[in-house]
A and B are shown apart, each in its own frame.
Chain A
Amino acid sequence: MTTFPPQPPIGAPGQWSFPLPSTSTLSNGIELLTFDQPGQHVIAAHLVLDLPLGTEPRELEGVATLTARTLDEGTRKHGGEEFAELLETEGAGFGIDLSLSGTQAVLDVPATRLDRALELFAEAVREPALADEDVNRHVTLRLAEIEQSEANSAQLASIAFRRAVFDPESRGARMNGGEPDTVGGITPDEVRAFHARHYGPHGATLILAGDFSSTGDPVALAERCFGDWTNPGQAPVQHLPIGPARRQVQIIHRPGAVQADIRLGGYAIDRFDPRWPAITVASYAMGGAFLSRLNAVLREDLGYTYGIRLAFSPLRSGGSFAVQGSFRTEVVGDTLHRLHGLLDVSEKPFTNAEVADAVTYFTGVSPLRYATADGVADQAATHVLAGLPHTYVDSNLDALRAVTPDDATTAYAELVDLNALTLVVVGDADLLAEPIRAAGHPDLEVIVRD
């Protein structure tokens, strides 16, 4: 017979702060943020351009994505496949990320090869060839990618949800990579013109993170690669607001689907709203933790789903939130019915314990999340894109620690209006339309795609 030791207490967490960058300005005005992280042998370089997707002309949506995807398909110095060969031979990974807030080019490379890789990275951004055949191929590949996305139930639900929740006049309502009606008509000339008009040093930030002990001075390297970049024709950028759409309740018919993907939510706030810390805590308690109110009942008690969550997704200004999950067809009606009760906090405000657990969770996972070069560089890029200060992570954690249960309940009740939720379901409408209507959504619209 063995004796089990008693459950041990938890010791106080150690001191931790998000690292502050060394800042400098290259001779052409590019802001340089450097994070020195000993032991991080893979360097992350993020070039953040003040180039939000809203910059695309309505009739050319997708042009920003096609431009970015063609950057590493050859440069004026190293044409065709030669460029990618050079970059990959340095062990480098090149990526791009486009959002409603801005554009990033990302380089990951072992520190021992940073010098040459950063030169090539700069070459791709500054002087890509954007050749006809490469652009045209990326148009075809983007169209194929859209077909793949729309064939995937969860992705289709997310595409339909953004269309239902953001102002249809705004860029936010449509896929980041553009939709078939505009992508299909984009020409290589338009891609080259987009690059010429919008890629330049003005408003750009370069972020370098990792262990520079073997690389030489990162500031000098950045100056050598980017300091003489000019573009007198670079157009000024406007960040257009993205507002809400009118409420919608719809099912997208997917005949024979064995599960339905549910998105239930609405328009919401950004990180500058004073309620942001409170809603962060509230949404974790409602649908972020494993034993959140939603997952505890719908997964752990009832076995209806592999997982359900509630998440708030901030934009630079405004944002959205959604309850999301996949449910087997037979239980969708009951799930929606139960959600109305579970999501209502008027009789069941958030508790001290729920708030305390949320705060220790967010505080506890931060050191790990930001332990690597790419983790730090990615967060620093988020700050730049959202217009937040370098100290945001620490100040946000302080603000989370100050949230009371009342704050969480009040913010939640203000932001999650149970009578105004937009619902998107992707599933078999023949089987689901009636149960969804009966679960309190009589205004359900059935959408049949061709």
Chain B
Amino acid sequence: MTAALKLDYPIVQRTLDNGLRVIASPDHGVPSVAVNLWYDVGSRHEEPGRTGFAHLFEHVMFQGSAHVGTAQHIALMQAAGAAVNATTWFDRTNYFQTLPTGGLDLALWLEADRMGTLLDALTQENLDNQREVVKEEKRQRYDNVPYGDVMERLVELTFPADHPYGHTTIGSMEDLNAASLEDVHTFFRTHYTPSNAVLTIAGDVTAEAAFARAETYFGHLPNVPAAPDPATAPLPALTGVPRAETTADVPAEAVYLTWRLPARNHPDFDAVDLAFSVLGQGQTARLHRALVRRLEHAEATGANAMGLIGGTSFGIAYARARDEVSPETLEQDLITEIAQLLEEGPTEIELRRAKAQFERHWLHELARIDSRADALGEYATLEGDPSLINSRIAAVNAVDTDRLVTAARTWLAPEARATLIYRKESA
């Protein structure tokens, strides 16, 4: 087997007096720099009756601050040649811009201004407008798309309703409608503090220059204690095979299986992730070979583990039916393949293949300063150690067949699944 490349991206860390963690990762390959902020707040931090807040808040963050006009953050950044955006997920909200190095100061100034003074500029009108935009986003990405509600249905099957992962990031429109300006103020004060964020500066700037600028623009913000993460003891495995069915205007019937998995930093997680890869990633994956190629029961299959930090992750295996094949048949096919993997384990070559595919995926992730900065922020925020990006390939390569089998038997048992079925509306 070819030796994997040893990664050595430079990583220098410092914490400002106000608690802001700063990571510098110089790379002078192109005259650009990535400015990336991870806030340790996602949909798992939302209060009951206030779902969708973290994501609504991501929109609000572009509505101006004390010294920046409405929507001027993106406008000023694009006019400086930046690619700029933000995303919200269960565990995080991240904001990022990558631009020619001459715009680094402006990018930091803009991020610091909204971290420090967002509430000075927030108006009812801006909030109302962004609430409408979020509703359009929900219609476009979830309501008006076949299977668009799949994530919502899967988390509802997998987690208790009051669990931090029991609802999706887009949240409920009723909750968004109920959001008052005061709620939004509280959310900001609770979560948008320097000590709850990680600032990563990667690209064409030395570490010392990066830290000096971070101090200039963020150093004067006050130190406010960060909100604790929600208590998230690991959940026990699912029991009794919870089931849900929906009848919808979908082009093909489909079945989804889910499992509760260990948190992303649990020693079993990489092994479980590789098991999902053997089952559902690529053309030689077991589900594709069996259901698409050999049995010709499915038009598509897949499986993947979604790593989360709060005690419990989840994993999905799915298949979309070819005409005349019932979801029950597909469910049985999926279970047969999964049971077989648990019984006999992966072949030596399957495990090698899953690791090789992970290696390419990870090298690709680190190939650009923007995605590298995001990975640094991710590992610093969720696992406390950005240098893990350099050792991920070695960690995954260290999983052997025994570890994979043991972990898969622990976490992926067919009787520990939940099942979601999509049926076609009858014509």
Contacts and interface: CB of A to CB of B under 8 A. Distances in A.
Contacts of A16: 30-31
Interface stretch (A54-62, A221-229, A289-297, A414-422): A289-297
A326 B139 contact: yes
A159 B296 CA distance: 28
Interface string B1-27: 011110000000000000000000001
B353 A368 contact: no
Contact of B5 (A92, A112, A154): A112
Contact of A89 (B70, B100, B356): B356
A7 B75 contact: no
B67 A110 contact: no
Given A13-B100, A147-B251, A39 B81 contact: no
Contacts of B117: 4
B288 to A, nearest CB: 10
B329 to A, nearest CB: 16
A363 interface: yes
A259 B4 contact: no
B106 A7 contact: yes
A25 interface: no
B379 to A, nearest CB: 19
Interface string B345-384: 0000100110011011001100111100000000000000
Contacts of B364: 42, 108, 372, 374
A299 interface: yes
A357 B144 contact: no
B146 interface: yes
A5 B109 contact: yes
A367 B32 contact: yes
Given A147-B252, A303-B136, A361-B81, A14 B31 contact: yes
Given A13-B102, A110-B5, A144 B282 contact: no
B98 interface: yes
B99 A364 contact: yes
A4 B220 contact: yes
Contacts of B32: 364, 367-368, 371
Interface in A78-119: 81, 84-85, 88-93, 108-113
- The interface centre, meaning the residue of B136, B282, B293, B356 with most chain A CB atoms within 10 A of its CB, is B136
B82 A364 contact: yes
9 contacts: A42-B367, A89-B349, A93-B357, A108-B360, A111-B5, A140-B296, A303-B133, A303-B136, A328-B135
Interface of A: 2-5, 7-16, 38-42, 72, 81, 84-85, 88-93, 108-113, 137, 140-141, 144-145, 147-148, 150-154, 214, 256-259, 289-291, 296, 299-306, 326-328, 356-357, 360-365, 367-368, 371-375
8 shortest interchain CB distances as A-B pairs: A364-B81, A14-B31, A11-B102, A303-B132, A91-B356, A8-B105, A13-B100, A144-B299
